[in-house]
């Protein structure tokens, strides 16, 4: 059964690289018109060009930590492309190295939560207020993480920011369900991206992490994108509030 997103408008934050870019490409390939959102103009241009090879795409610059800029950017996308059917929130950062909880600084904590949790929530809110709740239709997919669902050492700010994503997804699903707005979270295991490479390249790191994954490999970008496209589509109209692990069995243990 093919995912058909023809005539759908999708917005992807963090859409210029990694998981966000893969999601934007697969949404476009499935027929959606995609607003590729990124924090820097040069990466937005490059990312949009890549997505355009798969389908229809337009680029927009937005730093999700600039909360007052979120609503105007969403309004511009709506004016340019039409009402928003799909929102994928993939903008995110990490410290980039294993860090013990006792060594975490206030700045590291605030930086990660400002992007991964706060920026994500207010993007969800802006799209829901402007486009989805008034039309009583929409699908929001937040990119979480396996480590937002289980305990894991040496990445406290990241873990907790992704746990926030999981909980706000559940709460939004309950609150916005009566408006026919579905909210789900895709929670991948390790995927090779520019964000994860510094960790995956540490001696012995990936071998250690594979011990937690019964399938014994990290995920592919297209596997995460496939989960997102399914949840965005009309095949999943009764699915909301879930945490969808793309984790090779990590969380079933």
Active site residues: 158
Q: Can you list the pairs that 202-210 forms with residues at least 24 positions away whose Cβ atoms lie under 8 Å?
A: 202/97, 202/98, 205/98
Give the angle 54-16-150 at the CA atoms, nearest 5°.
110
Measured CA to CA, the distance from residue 133 to residue 116 in angstroms comes to 23
- In this structure, the chain runs to a length of 253
Task: Output helix, strand, coil percentages for the chain, rounded to the nearest 5.
Answer: 50, 15, 35
Query: Can you give the C-alpha Rg of the chain in angstroms?
Result: 17
Residue keyed to tokens 């480590």: 147
């Amino acid at each position: 059964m093919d995912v058909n997103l023809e005539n759908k408008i999708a917005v992807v934050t963090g859409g210029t690289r990694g998981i966000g870019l893969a999601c934007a490409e697969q949404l476009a390939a499935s027929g959606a018109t995609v607003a590729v959102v990124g924090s820097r103009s040069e990466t937005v241009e490059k990312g949009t060009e890549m997505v355009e090879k798969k389908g229809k795409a337009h680029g927009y610059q937005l730093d999700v930590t600039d909360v007052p800029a979120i609503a105007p950017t969403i309004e511009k996308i709506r004016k340019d492309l039409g009402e928003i059917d799909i929102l994928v929130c993939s903008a995110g950062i990490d410290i980039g190295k294993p860090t013990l909880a006792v060594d975490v600084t206030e700045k590291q904590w605030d930086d990660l939560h400002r992007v991964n949790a706060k920026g994500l929530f207010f993007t969800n809110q802006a799209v829901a207020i402007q486009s989805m709740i008034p039309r009583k239709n929409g699908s929001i997919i937040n990119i979480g993480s396996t480590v937002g669902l289980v305990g894991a050492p040496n990445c406290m700010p990241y873990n907790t920011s992704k746990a926030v994503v999981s909980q706000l997804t559940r709460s939004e699903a309950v609150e916005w369900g009566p408006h026919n707005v579905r909210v789900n979270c895709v929670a991948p295991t390790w995927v090779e991206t520019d964000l994860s490479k510094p960790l995956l390249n540490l001696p012995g790191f990936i071998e250690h992490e594979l011990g937690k994954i019964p399938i014994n490999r990290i995920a592919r970008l297209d596997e995460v994108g496939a989960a997102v496209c399914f949840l965005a589509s009309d095949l999943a109209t009764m699915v909301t509030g879930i945490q969808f692990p793309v984790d090779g069995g990590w969380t079933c243990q």
